[in-house]
DNA sequence: GGAAGACTCCCCACTTTTCCCCACACAAAC
DNA sequence: GTTTGTGTGGGGAAAAGTGGGGAGTCTTCC
């Protein structure tokens, strides 16, 4: 499984393209073949899954009970935003307009490695997000990872 | 498991590189292969984990459920600061800008061996830290290891 | 149906940063 | 006093990030 980490602030050019940091490209599994699925983040950002990771997610959604109203809605909401993109010769991807609008991404993007996915943020929105989530990391770790 | 100890004040050159003391390099396990993961300390410093130690931590984070809001936040907060670096031919590593900014490290760095990790401090900040934590060691030992 | 415009790819080119290697100074060891 | 190892500094090649041109496709409007 790919393990993305680190952060970087990159620019988005006039054609809506942004580079994926070389370190993250190196962390890609060969199965992903330079292809990603972009989708709407739960937070106001874009989630970028390498193809192999996305397949796993997709399988999870596929196993949900379609007789359940909430499950149907969830799958609809997630898949309608999903879009497949590939790296160009310079290691860049182009951001679908619907998604960059949702995330409010202009000509700068903050790229964050978050384990199995990469996240793309508007740098200012991320600063706001941090302000709203000032929980002390130690407390959080205890809550989430327990004893 | 590697057991780092000792302290040293080294310089950081104009390219942002600093040497890892030879004694600590010798304490490295061969599994680490001269590679470290640097991350943000709970204190205002940089934590330096040899690769083998870091893998253990990373595996724990990888097992968290990404459908949980707090878990996502924790993983984001930790991994965004994590960066992998390797020793160069002279036994140095280069410090990522985001981390040396966080730790306030300029052209001098205090290197402290702390068991399974190494810590990098701005020497002045470490002095401040000591002033704010004047509990005497004997009392502390009893509190922590008492029973 | 055909032309104008937008959009998507796939290249090429420039600039900056990173990384690898060589060199020197100082200290400790023999 | 020479040798070995450690910390420090810097040059140059290679890679990474950024910007833009041009062919091909699709849409839209006359």
pLDDT (tens digit, 9 = 90+) per residue, A110-124? 999 999 999 999 999
Note whether residue B75 is domain-resident: yes
Helix (H) or strand (E) run with residue A101 in it: helix A97-103
Note whether residue A1 is domain-resident: no
Contact A41, A69 (CB under 8 A): no
**Considering chain B, what percentage of its residues have pLDDT values greater than 70?**
100
Domain range for B115? 7-122
Partner-chain contact B72 A42, CB within 8 Å = yes
* Number of compact structural domains in chain A: 1
Give the per-residue pLDDT at B47. 97
Q: What is the DSSP letter of B2?
A: -
Lowest mean pLDDT among A44-48, A102-106, B103-107, B134-138: B134-138
Give the per-residue pLDDT at B139. 85
pLDDT tens by residue, B63-88: 999 899 999 999 999 999 999 999 99
Note whether residue A50 is domain-resident: yes
Give the per-residue pLDDT at A46. 96
Give the per-residue pLDDT at B106. 92
Token pair belonging to A129: 């997000």
Question: CATH number for the domain including B65?
Answer: 3.40.1550.20
Q: Does the C-beta of B95 come within 7 A of strand D?
A: no
What integer best gives the mean pLDDT of chain B? 92
Strands (E), chain A: 7-11, 17-19, 35-40, 46-50, 83-86, 92-94, 108-114, 117-121
Count of CB atoms situated within 10 Å of the CB of B143: 9
Note whether residue A140 is domain-resident: yes
Look at residue B113 and tell me whether its pLDDT is greater than 80: yes
Closest CA to A45 of A138, A95, A120, A112: A120
Under-70 pLDDT residues of chain A:
147
Look at residue B9 and tell me whether its pLDDT is greater than 90: yes
pLDDT tens by residue, A10-28: 999 999 999 999 999 999 9
Closest CA to B84 of A128, A6, A72: A6
Note whether residue B145 is domain-resident: no
Note whether residue B144 is domain-resident: no
Instruction: Please give, chain by chain, protein residues whose CB is below 7 Å from any atom of strand C.
Output: A 15-16, 86, 88-90, 94, 97; B 15, 86, 88-90, 94, 97
* Cα gap A22→A25, rounded to integer Å: 5
Note whether residue A2 is domain-resident: no
Long-range contacts of the stretch A58-63 (C-beta < 8 A, 24+): none
B140 or B7: which leads in pLDDT:
B7
Note whether residue B50 is domain-resident: yes
Partner-chain contact B70 A23, CB within 8 Å = no
Give the per-residue pLDDT at A45. 95
């Amino acid at each position: 499984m790919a393990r993305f980490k680190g952060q970087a602030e990159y620019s988005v050019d006039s054609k809506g393209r942004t580079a994926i940091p070389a370190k993250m490209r190196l962390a890609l599994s060969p199965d992903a073949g330079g292809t990603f699925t972009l989708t709407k983040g739960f937070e106001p950002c874009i989630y970028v899954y390498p193809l192999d990771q996305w397949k796993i997610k997709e399988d999870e959604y596929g196993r949900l009970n379609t007789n359940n109203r909430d499950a149907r809605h969830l799958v609809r909401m997630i898949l309608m935003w999903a879009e497949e993109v590939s790296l160009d010769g310079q290691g860049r991807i182009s951001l679908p307009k619907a998604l960059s609008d949702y995330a409010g991404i202009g000509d700068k993007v903050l790229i964050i490695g978050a384990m199995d996915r990469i996240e793309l943020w508007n740098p200012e929105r991320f600063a706001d997000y941090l302000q709203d989530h000032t929980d002390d990391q130690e407390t959080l770790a205890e809550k989430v990872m327990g004893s």
